[in-house]
Structure 1
Amino acid sequence: MVSLKTEQPTLGALRDAIPDHCFERSATRSLLYVARDVLYAGVLIYAASYIDSIPTGSLRIVAWTLYTFLQGCVGTGLWILAHECGHGAFSPSTRLNNFVGWALHSALMVPYYSWKITHARHHRYTGHLTRDTAFVPYTESEFMENRKLSVLDQVHELIEETPLATSVAHLLGHQLFGWQMYMFQYVSAGKESIPGVDDVAKARNLSHYAPNGTLWVPGQGLLIFLTDMGLLMTASVWGYVGWQFGWQKVVLLYVIPYFWVHHWLVAITYLHHTHPSVPHFSPEKWSFTSGALCTIDRSFGFIGRHFMHEIIDYHVVHHLFPRIPFYHAQEATEAIQPLLQEHYHETKDESFLKSLVDTFHRCCHANSNRSDGFDFPGSDSGAS
């Protein structure tokens, strides 16, 4: 194993390097970003109301395609602002944070409090091989234990090396339905990521929508009920739109952008926490700071900076100090980079989408070939 040249800085040293004003949260500034993004969404819906009057069918297809893509980018930005609320980075007011986060996430059919609870566990145990909740890889023994030698699996083994199977079928399924699978079945979470549950694989009722589900500790059921009420309100609004104007309009105006939003969120989260050379740590070797520093900063150009509020570009500092507002993340990152040196991971010179395809392909194969306790170069991990 290759050793790092410099010692990992402490969390306190990193905090001291960041200017105090980077931790200041402004409700006014945050609400202005919400207003901007809501305005974008409204303008796009208004413009879309004229698409069907375009006389040429091919141009209408182009116009609807452009609308759904742009609305997906705007929706992702609103999702991220609600994400700020969930971390308390939106404003100093907990009530305002929760109200805005609940309203925005409900409008996007995202269960706000449910997500907030499990996402907090992800931040608490980032990079932990058994307690993290997002994209936790199997160890070899877990992989073999969960593998079923069915006819379908044998066919899968025959085709999994082909570019079509890996880059198209698997990746599309991952991007289109990964979020829904996490919401309904808690997929990709570590086996000990639920308080009081020894093995997630043996637990029942793992839905983020169930007030009496296994994911919650006593007393949290009411928050899940409030979450579900928000989702029901949004579904009712779009149900009324479909009844009045036709379900095709609902699909074009909302459903396709919905899948765009969650495509971007799955891609962003996956690339922030997955790289062939970045580990997950065994319980014996994990620490909060080590796990947070195994996050990867990436880049998606103008779209990532403007529409997605730079969450792609500056995510390492967010995992170290999640209450830093996104509009201070660049300055905070630049302040800690001299201390981190090779402990800081970034791939901003790569195409975001190319990174998604390459990382997915490489890590899928690595996941089925590594052994327990494998140490990656430059890390002190128990697995990756």
Structure 2
Amino acid sequence: VPYFSWKYSHRRHHSNTGSLEKDEVFVPKPKAQLPWYSGYLNNPLGRFLTMLVTLTLGWPLYLAFNVSGHHYDRFASHFDPYGPIYSDRERLQIFVSDAGVLGMGCLLLQLARAWSLGWVARVYGAPLLVVNGFLVLITYLQHTHPALPHYDKSEWDWLRGALATVDRDYGVLNRVFHNITDTHVAHHLFSTMPHYHAMEATRAVRPILGEYYQFDGTPVYKAMWREAKECLYVEPDEGTKGGSGGGVFWYRNKF
């Protein structure tokens, strides 16, 4: 992971969560902006292949090519210090992150020469795939749910965006993942809070938020399939300000 590169883009995600114009990751598209082949993937086989690619290649594709990220007018990459993701004062640290990734790549190359490419793939590559897969799955399910709205600039504000996230239950894995899975709402409300206070904070804010607190205890494998089926694009809520022209947007799946 390019440390500073993701640090800055993730900070912008926290500053703009739920905004269709400014959020940095898992930004849903209106139906009219979907690629032409989307309708052909709206079936069990298509969903399976989409999720397979997302869980295996989604993280490196996001870092390298900004796939599923904020739309920029030109090429954007977490490895490009002069790309549109970063401001001038951040560019030096992007070079530092790139140097770290390059250094790790050189180390892996030396290990492959000493122990074989297969050994590196087993000891480093396979665990990395698992970590990347869970990272994408967890963040996808935290920000993708039929009950989560997105907003355009006429309706968005920071608090609305922070509450447009959902806590999930991963069973015993909640503890393994330091409860990032079931305390994500609190994480967005208090993003500088140490993770070891997240459970305490969640218990405190849950009764205060009431119906505005989102939790879904659906088993993860069922939730993943449901969201892949139902959350394909967003359309405006006809009952909100602006009608079909904007405002509050909800996930839809009809082609």
Q: TM-score, normalised by structure 2?
A: 0.90
Inter-partner Cα distance in structure 2 for 1:303 and 1:273: 19
Q: Aligned pair 1:329/2:198, yes or no?
A: yes
Q: What is the CA-CA distance between 1:363 and the residue it aligns to?
A: 0.8
Alpha carbons of 1:248 and 1:161: their partners in 2 closer, same or farther (altered >3 Å)? same
Who is 1:6 aligned against?
none
Identity %: 34
Who is 1:38 aligned against?
none
Who is 1:195 aligned against?
none
- Listed as ranges, the matches of 1:1-384 within 5 Å are 110-143=1-34, 147-148=35-36, 153=37, 157=39, 159-166=40-47, 168-191=48-71, 200=72, 202-204=73-75, 206-305=76-175, 307-348=176-217, 350-364=218-232, 367=233, 371-374=235-238, 382-384=248-250
Question: Does the CA-based 8 Å contact 2:153-2:247 persist in structure 1?
Answer: no
Letter in 1 for 2:220: F
**Secondary structure of the structure 1 residue equivalent to 2:10:** helix
Alpha carbons of 1:263 and 1:381: their partners in 2 closer, same or farther (altered >3 Å)? farther
Q: What is the CA-CA distance between 1:312 and the residue it aligns to?
A: 0.2
Number of residues of Structure 1 aligned to a counterpart in Structure 2:
245
Q: Which digits, 9 at most, give the CA deviation of each residue in 1:294-331, with x for residues without a partner?
A: 110001111221x2110001010000001111111111
Letter in 2 for 1:286: W
Letter in 2 for 1:284: S
Larger proportion of strand: 2
Q: Which digits, 9 at most, give the CA deviation of each residue in 1:85-134, with x for residues without a partner?
A: xxxxxxxxxxxxxxxxxxxxxxxxx0000001110110000111110011
Alpha carbons of 1:132 and 1:125: their partners in 2 closer, same or farther (altered >3 Å)? same
Larger relative contact order (Cα-Cα within 8 Å, sequence gap ≥ 6):
1
Mark the runs of 5 or more structure 1 residues left unpaired by the alignment: 1-109, 192-199
Inter-partner Cα distance in structure 1 for 2:82 and 2:21: 24
Aligned residues: CA RMSD: 1.9
Who is 2:243 aligned against?
none
Q: What is the CA-CA distance between 1:285 and the residue it aligns to?
A: 0.8
Runs of 4+ displaced beyond 4 Å: 373-376
Larger proportion of helix: 1
**Secondary structure of the structure 2 residue equivalent to 1:276:** coil
Mark the runs of 5 or more structure 2 residues left unpaired by the alignment: 241-245, 251-255
Larger radius of gyration: 1
